[in-house]
């Protein structure tokens, strides 16, 4: 009985959600569009009728939500709404691409095909995972809507992530922070990027996320009062001057506050720019720029600006199409306040990205070409990509998600390069041959090395020499994918030449040992040395790493292979076998157990201690490494190598000690070091390994390394240290930050 009532309620709810979807898309509907959307909706309802989500809800809620995000939050049209409704049908149901093409035409079919190709986001192996991302970018070259719908799909999955198991939550959230949020940023989808980052943080570092949300809620009334006080005088004069404006305060996202706390090492209470004031003017296209500068002039009559904090993205928009004028001014209560000034068109593009550009097509041809330029850069990267998909993803992240700067050639042409790029990157950006022969550069007429990091506005003249060729060191200081790919290609060619010489050297050494230089013998020798290819053997022969000693061993092995079999078998454990062995029957690694057969280490990059939320990661050569879930490297590991991750928990029965680092800052009072060491020595069961202190102009900073049993134990110690007169802040630091 109850089930039929539920079904009735669900039917009503499905129709209700469909009506909301039509309302969201109404503004863009043309003749016949409504019928097409209805057709797609009915097909999706029928196709998914027996499926349910992890939450227990009917599966159809998900495609409707994805289509709703496409229409309402990205501002896409009918084609994308239809694709959003049908995005899972080909993969999960009996419906084929041919059916889709017959009902909705080739364009819809192509987008659904693109979405189906990249659907395997939760594959078990890292290379497939990375390959999926590469496929996604290939489809981006065909139709950017594939990526936009994929981002809508990911956003809805993140919004409903509560119903997933904890290990899946961490994996999906890490992948979101690692790939999808930067991709949304690069496409100018600011609102979606912000929400993806906040939700990513919520599931990877729940405690910190909740703490920031709580503090934001507590300080909201105070903020509102301040914003009101700041806005009132400006509003009055802007109206007087005939401007039509919306002025409001925008709180900073939880994720950006978290980054500030983490990177600058300041507590929440000391972050002054928790919000930005946004002024959006209703201007005619030809007056946008002058209106923004006039508003800037009015504001700076009221409040003193910080000259070095003026950002003009109206004259030179960001690579993702973002246009705005930013200034930071001293507010009425002695706080710095960021003010963003833009037109309504700029605001919509800033929030919704390229989909909004299409709405302003007549005036946005330049932005369209910027998008085309970005996509052609992706194509170029895909063509010259490394075989290793994971290296490719890392390069891709570094380049296409990086902030960009503008530099100039000696003739005054402006070029865009990623922030952090070096003179050598710039050389490869101009032409690969110039890159390969580059010996240095003149930046603003001064001689600089290849590794010199360029700054915005630099004028760069490149110096070359025919004798120069790429070397391994170059890979250490270039950051663009183009430069890396070209250098690796040149090095491979060089390696091939050396290997050709090595082949002759090895042949002579084989004959000296009375060994025939046959294809079979070379292959057997390669296997014996456990090397990947015969070319690697020849290269090592040329470098004198493989020589007579190894050949003699090989001859012994050929005479008595049985002596080598046992040794060989002992060593050959695949990563998959190690994972299975580590996971065991319970699928859980318990840290602190007497596990003689399993070798695990606590990772130095985040120094986990009992009480931390942790996972095990199976490495190829060093057994299992234990990382904190909020470790700086966790997102990358969880996003790319999910199949190597082992669930881990601490064994509470054993009292083991772990090394943790604590940073203490304060005012340099008399006897403060003595008081701090006294607290540590009287604290139950805490041993100190090292202590360093540095004082400058009355401020001291110290790092103490102590042995503790758990996070609880460490928190107790930190709280006691905070009570020492003169101590201002005590914080735990990760392994990588012990500076």
The Cα–Cα gap between 200 and 399 comes to 22
User: What is the gyration radius of the CA atoms in the chain, in angstroms?
Assistant: 30
Residue 617 backbone dihedrals phi, psi, to 5 degrees: -130, 120
> How far apart, in Å, do the first and last CA atoms of the chain sit?
67
Token pair of 511, please? Answer: 């004959």
Closest CA to 116 of 183, 99, 636: 99
Mean of pLDDT values over 275-285: 89
The Cα–Cα gap between 619 and 613 comes to 19
Token pair of 246, please? Answer: 């919306």
Q: Is 667 helix (H, G, I), strand (E, B) or coil?
A: strand
The predicted pLDDT at position 621 comes to 66
Give me the sign of the Cα torsion angle 26, 32, 36, 39: positive
The Cα–Cα gap between 248 and 347 comes to 13
Q: Strands 600-602, 336-343: parallel, antiparallel or unpaired by DSSP? A: unpaired
DSSP state of 649: E
What string of DSSP letters covers 318-379?
-TT----EEEEEE-TTS-EEEEEEEEHHHHHHHHHTHHHHHHTGGG-HHHHHHHHHHHHHHH
Mean of pLDDT values over 62-76: 87
Q: CB under 8 Å, gap of 24 or more: what pairs does 466-474 form?
A: 466/437, 468/436, 468/437, 468/438, 468/439, 469/436, 469/437, 469/494, 470/435, 470/436, 470/494, 474/424, 474/450
User: Catalytic annotation on 696?
Assistant: no
The predicted pLDDT at position 198 comes to 94
Tens-digit pLDDT profile for residues 138-161: 555 566 778 888 889 999 989 988
The predicted pLDDT at position 107 comes to 84
CA angle, 705 then 711 then 717, to 5°: 55
Element (H, E) at 246: strand 245-251
For residue 48, pLDDT beyond 70: yes
Element (H, E) at 414: strand 414-418
Mean of pLDDT values over 332-348: 86
The predicted pLDDT at position 564 comes to 63
Closest CA to 29 of 100, 104, 79: 79
The Cα–Cα gap between 137 and 381 comes to 10
Q: What is the pTM of this model?
A: 0.64
> How confident is residue 134, by pLDDT bands cut at 50, 70 and 90?
low
The Cα–Cα gap between 82 and 97 comes to 14
* Neighbouring residues of 454: CB distance < 8 A, sequence distance ≥ 6: 405, 407, 417, 421, 422, 423, 425, 426, 443, 460
Residue 654 backbone dihedrals phi, psi, to 5 degrees: -95, 135
User: Catalytic annotation on 92?
Assistant: yes
The Cα–Cα gap between 92 and 53 comes to 13
In the chain, the percentage of residues whose pLDDT exceeds 70 is 80
What string of DSSP letters covers 527-554?
HHTT-S-HHHHHHHHHTTSS-HHHHHHH
- Identify the active-site residue in 8, 42, 46, 91: 91
> How confident is residue 572, by pLDDT bands cut at 50, 70 and 90?
very low
Lowest-confidence region among 28-37, 225-234, 569-578: 569-578
Alpha carbon separation from 422 to 123, 392, 405, 441, 582 (Å, rounded): 36, 20, 12, 10, 43
The Cα–Cα gap between 137 and 6 comes to 42
The Cα–Cα gap between 28 and 358 comes to 12
Closest CA to 354 of 189, 151, 141, 583: 189
Mean of pLDDT values over 55-59: 82
- Domains in the chain, CATH or no CATH each: 2-163 (1.10.3210.10), 214-364 (3.30.460.10), 370-487 (3.10.20.30), 495-571 (no CATH), 575-650 (no CATH), 658-737 (3.30.70.260)
Token pair of 125, please? Answer: 């192996």
Contact 280, 344 (CB under 8 A): yes
Residue 120 backbone dihedrals phi, psi, to 5 degrees: -75, 60
Tens-digit pLDDT profile for residues 83-98: 988 888 888 888 888 8
Q: Strands 614-618, 404-408: parallel, antiparallel or unpaired by DSSP? A: unpaired
The Cα–Cα gap between 264 and 272 comes to 13
The predicted pLDDT at position 633 comes to 81
Beta bridge partners of 327: 339
Quickly count helices (H) and strands (E) in the chain. Answer: 31, 19
Residue 417 backbone dihedrals phi, psi, to 5 degrees: -135, 155
642 or 463, greater pLDDT: 463
- Identify the active-site residue in 57, 92, 351, 550: 92
Q: Which residue has the tokens 């663009």?
A: 480
Tens-digit pLDDT profile for residues 388-443: 555 555 555 555 556 777 788 888 777 878 888 999 999 998 888 999 999 889 99
Q: SS3 breakdown of the chain: % helix, strand, coil, rounded to 5?
A: 55, 15, 30
Beta bridge partners of 250: 276
The predicted pLDDT at position 341 comes to 94
In the chain, the percentage of residues whose pLDDT exceeds 90 is 9
279 or 335, greater pLDDT: 279
Contact 196, 187 (CB under 8 A): no
For residue 199, pLDDT beyond 90: yes
Mean of pLDDT values over 97-124: 74
360 or 381, greater pLDDT: 381
Q: Strands 446-448, 589-591: parallel, antiparallel or unpaired by DSSP? A: unpaired
Element (H, E) at 481: helix 481-512
């Amino acid at each position: 009985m109850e089930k039929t009532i539920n079904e009735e309620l669900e039917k009503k709810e499905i129709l209700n959600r469909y009506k909301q979807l039509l309302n969201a898309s109404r503004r863009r509907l043309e003749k016949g569009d409504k019928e097409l959307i209805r057709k797609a909706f009915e097909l999706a309802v029928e196709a998914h009728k027996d499926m349910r989500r992890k939450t227990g809800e009917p599966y159809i809620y998900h495609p409707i939500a994805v289509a709703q995000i496409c229409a309402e939050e990205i501002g896409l049209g009918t084609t994308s709404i239809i694709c959003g409704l049908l995005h899972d049908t080909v993969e999960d149901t009996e419906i084929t691409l041919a059916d889709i093409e017959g009902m909705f035409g080739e364009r819809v079919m192509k987008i659904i095909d693109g979405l189906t190709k990249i659907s395997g986001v939760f594959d078990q192996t890292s290379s497939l995972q990375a390959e999926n991302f590469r496929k996604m970018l290939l489809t981006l070259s065909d139709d950017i809507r594939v990526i936009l719908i994929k981002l809508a799909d990911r956003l809805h999955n993140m919004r409903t992530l509560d119903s997933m198991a904890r290990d899946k939550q961490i994996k999906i959230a890490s992948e979101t922070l690692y790939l999808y949020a930067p991709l949304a940023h690069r496409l100018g989808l600011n609102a979606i990027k912000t929400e993806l980052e906040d939700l990513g943080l919520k599931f990877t570092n729940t405690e910190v996320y909740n703490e920031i949300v709580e503090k934001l809620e507590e300080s909201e009334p105070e903020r509102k009062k301040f914003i009101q006080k700041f806005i009132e005088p400006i509003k009055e004069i802007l109206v007087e001057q005939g401007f039509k404006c919306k002025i409001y305060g925008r709180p900073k996202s939880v994720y950006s506050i978290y980054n500030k706390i983490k990177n600058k090492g300041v507590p929440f209470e000391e972050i002054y720019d928790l919000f930005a004031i946004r002024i959006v003017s209703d201007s005619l296209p030809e007056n946008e720029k002058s209106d923004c500068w006039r508003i800037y002039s009015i504001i700076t009559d009221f409040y003193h600006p910080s000259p070095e904090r003026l950002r003009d993205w109206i004259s030179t928009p960001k690579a993702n199409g973002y246009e705005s004028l930013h200034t930071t001014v001293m507010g009425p209560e002695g706080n710095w306040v960021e003010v963003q000034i833009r037109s309504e068109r700029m605001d919509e593009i800033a929030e919704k990205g390229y989909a909004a550009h299409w709405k302003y097509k007549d005036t946005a041809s330049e932005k369209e070409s910027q998008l085309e330029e970005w996509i052609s850069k992706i194509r170029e990267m895909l063509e010259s990509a490394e075989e290793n998909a994971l290296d490719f993803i890392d390069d891709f992240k570094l380049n296409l998600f990086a902030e960009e700067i503008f530099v100039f050639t000696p003739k005054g042409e402006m070029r865009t390069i990623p922030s952090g790029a070096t003179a050598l990157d710039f050389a490869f950006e101009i032409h690969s041959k110039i890159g390969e022969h580059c010996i240095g550069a003149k930046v603003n007429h001064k001689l600089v090395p290849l590794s010199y990091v360029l700054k915005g506005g630099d004028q760069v003249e490149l110096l070359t020499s025919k004798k120069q060729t790429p070397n391994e060191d170059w890979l250490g200081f270039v950051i663009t994918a183009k430069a890396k790919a070209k250098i690796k290609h040149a090095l491979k060619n060089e390696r091939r030449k050396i290997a050709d010489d090595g082949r002759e050297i090895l042949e002579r050494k084989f004959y000296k040992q009375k060994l025939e230089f046959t294809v079979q013998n070379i292959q057997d020798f390669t296997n014996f040395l456990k090397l990947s290819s015969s070319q690697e053997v020849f290269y090592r022969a040329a470098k004198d790493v493989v020589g007579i000693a190894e050949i003699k061993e090989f001859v012994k092995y050929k005479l008595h292979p049985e002596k080598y079999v046992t040794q060989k078998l002992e060593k050959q454990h695949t990563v998959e076998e190690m994972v299975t062995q580590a996971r065991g029957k319970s699928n859980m690694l318990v840290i602190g157990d007497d596990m003689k057969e399993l070798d695990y280490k606590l990772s130095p990059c985040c120094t986990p201690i009992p009480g931390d939320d942790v996972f095990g990661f199976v490495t190829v050569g060093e057994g299992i490494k234990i990382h904190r879930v909020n470790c700086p490297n966790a997102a990358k590991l969880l996003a790319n190598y999910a199949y190597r991750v082992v669930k881990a928990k601490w064994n509470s029965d054993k009292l083991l000690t772990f090394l943790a680092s604590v940073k203490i800052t304060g005012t340099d009072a008399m006897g403060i070091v003595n008081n701090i060491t006294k607290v540590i020595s009287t604290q139950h069961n805490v041993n100190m390994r090292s202590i360093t202190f540095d004082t400058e102009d009355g401020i001291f900073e110290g790092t103490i390394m102590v042995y503790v049993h758990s996070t609880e134990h460490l928190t107790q110690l930190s709280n006691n240290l905070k009570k020492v007169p003169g101590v201002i802040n005590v914080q735990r630091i990760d392994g990588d930050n012990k500076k």
